[in-house]
Chains A and B, each alone.
Chain A
Amino acid sequence: MHNKFYLMKIILSLMKGFAVLGVLHFQCRASRLPFDASNLAMTYTALTSLLILGDDLSRVDKSAIINAMKYLQKDDGSFTQTYQGMESDMRFVYCACAISYMLNDFSGINIDKVVQYIKESQSYDYGIGQGPGLESHGGSTFCAIASLYLLNKLDEGLLSKDKTIFWLISRQESGFQGRANKPPDTCYSFWIGASLMILDSFEFIDYDQNYNFLMTTRSFGGFSKWPGSYPDVMHTYMGVAGLSLMEESKKLDPALNISLKARKNLLKCVFKSE
C-alpha cells in the first residue's frame, strides 16, 4: 500500500549526495553512474516535498548538500543548477538560498556575492531580470526578492524598495503580467503577488480583478496560463497559490512557497522552535 512514508523513502534515497574530488555523485540504489549529479532545483523541490509530507529532515545528509552547493556558485554570484555547468541565473540563486534557509546553514553560499548579483540584476525600471542587463521579469523578481528575504538582506539588496513595489503593482492588468506590455498569465498572480507580500504591499492589489482573471483560466479542472489554453500542473499550482495569497487567513509562506503548515514543521524540526 503506497503511503506518504514510502514517498519520503523514495525522495531520501535519491538525495544522498556527497562531493568527491569536486564532482558530485548521487549514490543510487545500483552502481554509481557517471553523469548522475545533484541538481539544485530538484534538491529544493525534494526538501519542500519532505516538509509537506511531515518529515523532520533528520535522514537528509545536510552537510553533503551544503558542501556540494559551494561548487555551483559562479564568480558573479549566480548559481548553476548542476556541476555540469549549464546556464546560471536568478532561478538557482533562489534555490540555493531556499535550501540553505531550510537546512539553517548558509555556509554553502557566498552571501555578499549573491546580494551583489541581485543588485546588478535590477533594471532601470526597478524590476529584476534573470541577470545583469536583462529585462525585468516577474519570475526573476520573485526569485531575487525571496532570496534577499531569506538571507535577511532586503534593505541592502534593493536599490529602491518603493520603486520595486511600484513595478510590481504596475504588472496588474486584470490578472498579472510577467513583463510590461505582455498579456496576463496565471502564474504571475503568484510570482508578483508573493513578491508584494514579502514587501508588505500585497494589500495594494485589486483583489476582484485578480480573482476574476484567475477564474477565466480554469480549464478541465486545473488552471492554464491564459484563458482558453490547456492546463498544466505548474499553472494549476500557481493558480491555487495565487488565490491562496488573497485569503483572509493566510495559508501560504510566500518566500519558501510552501504552506504555513509545512513551514511550521520546518520551524519545529530544523529551527527547533514553534
Chain B
Amino acid sequence: MSFENYDWSDVVPIEQDDGPDPLAQIAYDPEYSKAMGYFRALAQKNEHSERALTLTEKIIEHNPAHYTIWHYRQQILFSLNKDLYEELDFIRNQVEQNPKNYQLWHHRQVIVEKLKDCSLESSFTEEVLNDDSKNYHAWTYRQWVIRTFNLWDNELSFVEKLLEKDIRNNSAWNQRYFAIFYNPTKPSEEFLEQEVQYGITKIKLAPNNISPWNYVKGVIAKSKLKIDVLEELCKTLYQQGIISPHALGCLVDIYEDRAKCGSINEKELGIQTCILLAEQHDTIRQKYWNYRKHVLTSIA
C-alpha cells in the first residue's frame, strides 16, 4: 500500500518550525513536507506500524540522506519483526541510484548485523564494484563483512579478478594488502617474498603505474627483505629505455640509504638521479626532487 492510501485522519501533522522569519527557507516539495509533517507526529508517540514504515520509504525517496528516517525505519522493522531479507532486497534496489549514500550502506550493515547472515554480502559488494570498481563505500563495507564474519579465504582471488580488469586499480591493490596483513592468519616470510615477486611482475606490465610500486614497498617493509631487492628492476627498466619516475624515485631512496652509510659513489648517483627527475622525468615535482638533491648533497 502506498503512503497516501493509509488512514491518516487521526494524525495531526506537526509542521517544521523554521522560526518567525526564516532567512533562507528551503522550497520543499509539498509531498515531502506533508510526509515529514506526519513523521513528526508519529515520532512524538513513537508509533511503529505499517503506515509508519511506508512513510519512511516515501521520505527516503525524496531525501535518501535523511539519517533520522533511516534510524526510525530500523526501529520499526525490528519491532514489527519484518522480513529482513526483503529489506536487503529493498537496499539492493536503491544502491544502483545511490551507490555513494552513507546512510544506505550503514542501513545494510545494521540489517546484516541483526540477521547475523553475511551470505549475500560478497555478491552484493561485487555487483556494486562491477559498476564502479573504486566505490569507497563498497570497499569499506566489504572489509567490514570480511572482518566481522571471517571471510578471508576467497579475497585474494577476488582481488586478482579486479586487477586483471584494471592493473591500475589502487583500491584493489589496497584490498590485496588488507587481505594478507589484516588476516588473523599471519603470512609466512616465504609468502611475502612471493608477493614481492608478484608485484614486480605487475610492475613490468606497466612500469608507470604507481600502485604496485607502493604495494611492493609495503610488503618489503613487513618482511625481512630490504628495498635493495628492487634495485635490479629499477636499473633494468632504465637500461631498456623505459622511463618510470617510480623506478628512479626508488633508486634515489636506495642511494640515499647507502650515502648515509658512507658511500660517496652512491651519494653522487643519487644526486644525478634527482637531477634526472627534476629536469626531465618528473618535472611536476621538480621542487621536491631539488630538495631531495639538497638533502643528499648535505650528507657528510
Contacts and interface: CB of A to CB of B under 8 A. Distances in A.
Q: Are A and B co-members of a single complex?
A: yes
B134 A182 contact: yes
B139 A10 contact: no
Contacts of A220: none
Contact of B43 (A13, A35, A170): A35
Q: Which of B40, B103, B140 has the most CB of A within 10 A?
A: B140
A86 B106 contact: yes
B19 interface: yes
A234 interface: no
Interface stretch (A46-54, A58-66, A129-137, A264-272): A129-137
Nearest to B172: A135
B169 A131 contact: no
Nearest to A81: B67
Interface string A188-213: 00000000000000011110010000
What's the interface size class on B, roughly? Answer: 35 or more
B191 to A, nearest CB: 16
A29 B16 CA distance: 11
Contacts of B136: 130, 134-135, 137
Contact of B23 (A7, A36, A180): A7
Contact of B67 (A34, A84, A133, A205): A84
B45 to A, nearest CB: 9
Contact of A134 (B40, B105, B143): B143
A13 to B, nearest CB: 7
B284 A172 contact: yes
Given A133-B178, A204-B287, A86 B19 contact: no
B72 interface: yes
Contacts, number: 105
B65 to A, nearest CB: 11
Interface residues of A, number: 43
B198 interface: no
B182 interface: yes
Nearest to A207: B287
B43 A206 contact: no
Contacts of A182: 134, 170
B68 A29 contact: no
Contacts of A131: 140
A171 to B, nearest CB: 10
B287 A124 contact: no
Given A87-B105, A130-B136, A135-B136, A33 B288 contact: no
A224 interface: no
B19 A29 contact: yes
A172 B17 CA distance: 46
Interface in B136-185: 136, 139-140, 143, 147, 168-171, 174, 177-178, 182
Interface in A9-66: 10, 13, 28-30, 33-36
12 contacts: A7-B23, A29-B17, A84-B67, A124-B177, A129-B174, A130-B140, A131-B140, A170-B210, A179-B170, A204-B287, A204-B291, A206-B285
Given A36-B68, A87-B106, 14 more contacts: A10-B23, A35-B71, A35-B72, A86-B67, A123-B177, A124-B214, A124-B221, A133-B143, A173-B284, A181-B168, A181-B170, A182-B170, A204-B285, A206-B286
8 nearest CB pairs, A to B: A124-B218, A125-B214, A135-B174, A180-B170, A204-B288, A181-B168, A30-B17, A206-B284
